């Protein structure tokens, strides 16, 4: 596959995103190929660790390639989205649970699907250009790919803040929030990759002192509110127009569901529980959510003026996050890789 370069390099399995012209957006086929490579190397005695990196200086992976999901949803075909998210989330879980170390080197934009690949690796490296965000509410989705799990385990109310505002974290904030482990100037990455492939030993990773983390000292008390409306009211009382501006642009249903997902994920025993809950939303997104309109406004027509229509009441959130019965996301390989 041209969009991914998958190979063995001495003691390492190597996966390199190779769609720099598309900001290394993750397609369905790419998600399946990553999962297959991990399966192939799981019991390979020649592979001691896995290295995931990306071509180009603008993005590690700026999100999922959801064009096919959008086009199918327009035609009333909701199965395309179900299959895409089902397979993507199983790949995310495979990364999180992998028995060998996975080193992810994340430069530039790391958003949505990119967080699902790099954010669950065992050794996550960021550099000066890194910008990590979960902007899904702007296209009528929720923080998925295990994003609700990561947000839930960020300190204080950083999770709620990032979910609602889609703010971009630099390297310092990414480490502080638990989305990364090491800061290393990107000029040092090729030498580190070479040493990792030669030695197969992740103990050689040594990060440099991390840059400042503005979120560590930010007042996010407004995000303690029970509902999105409560949070908006607190931000209005504080005169925080910077936070209010993106919140007012996002899908109300996506924000209400996302807020619940982040808070419920704090009680999850494992990331798979969060993924399963996320799938309940995304598998219904083209049918019951604001996804079609969000993609139209932000990606297709690019008028940046979505007309949100989905009900955002507590009952609607209950419905879109309700269990799927026999169609629930599962992680049993014996049951196949698609719903």
User: Given pLDDT bands bounded at 50, 70 and 90, which one contains residue 1?
Assistant: confident
CATH number of 4-334: 3.90.226.10
Provide the annotated active-site residues: 64, 113, 136, 144
pLDDT (tens digit per residue) in 112-163:
999 999 999 999 999 999 999 999 999 999 999 999 999 999 999 999 999 9
User: Given pLDDT bands bounded at 50, 70 and 90, which one contains residue 309?
Assistant: very high
Nearest to 48 by CA among 92, 22, 14: 14
pLDDT (tens digit per residue) in 184-203:
999 999 999 999 999 999 99
**Sign of CA pseudo-dihedral 300, 302, 306, 307:** negative
Average pLDDT over residues 202-230: 97
Residue 334 has a pLDDT of 59
Tell me the percentage of the chain whose pLDDT exceeds 70: 98
Nearest to 55 by CA among 26, 21, 31: 21
Instruction: Tell me the whole-structure pTM to 2 decimals.
Output: 0.96
């Amino acid at each position: 596959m041209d969009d991914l370069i998958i190979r063995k390099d001495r003691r390492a399995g190597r996966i390199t995103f190779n769609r720099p012209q598309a900001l290394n957006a993750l397609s369905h086929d790419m998600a399946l190929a990553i999962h297959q490579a991990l399966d192939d190397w799981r019991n390979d005695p020649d592979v001691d660790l896995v290295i995931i990196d990306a071509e180009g200086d603008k993005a590690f992976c700026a999100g999922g390639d959801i064009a096919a999901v959008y086009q199918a949803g327009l035609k009333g075909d909701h199965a395309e989205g179900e299959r895409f998210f089902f397979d993507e989330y199983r790949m995310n879980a495979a990364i999180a649970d992998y028995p060998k170390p996975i080193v992810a080197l994340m430069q530039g934009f790391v958003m949505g699907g990119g967080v699902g690949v790099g954010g669950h690796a065992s050794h996550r490296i960021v550099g000066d250009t890194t910008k990590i965000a979960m902007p899904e509410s702007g296209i009528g989705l929720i923080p998925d790919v295990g994003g609700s799990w990561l947000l839930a385990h960020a300190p204080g109310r950083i999770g709620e803040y990032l979910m609602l505002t889609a703010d971009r974290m630099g390297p310092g904030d990414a480490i502080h929030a638990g989305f990364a482990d090491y800061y290393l100037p990107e000029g040092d990455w090729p030498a580190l990759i070479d040493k990792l492939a030669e030695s197969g030993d992740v103990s050689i990773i040594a990060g440099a002192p991390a840059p400042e983390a503005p979120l560590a000292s930010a007042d996010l008390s407004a995000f303690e509110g029970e509902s999105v409306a409560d949070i908006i009211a607190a931000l209005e009382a504080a005169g925080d127009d910077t936070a209010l501006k993106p919140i007012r642009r996002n899908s109300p249903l996506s924000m209400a569901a996302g807020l619940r997902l982040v808070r419920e994920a704090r009680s999850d025993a494992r990331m798979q529980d969060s993924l399963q809950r996320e799938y309940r939303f995304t598998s219904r997104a083209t049918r019951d959510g604001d996804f079609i309109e969000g993609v139209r406004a932000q990606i297709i027509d690019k008028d940046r003026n979505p007309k949100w229509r989905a009900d955002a009441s507590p009952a609607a959130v209950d419905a879109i996050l309700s269990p799927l019965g026999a169609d629930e996301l599962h992680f049993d390989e014996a049951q196949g890789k698609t719903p």
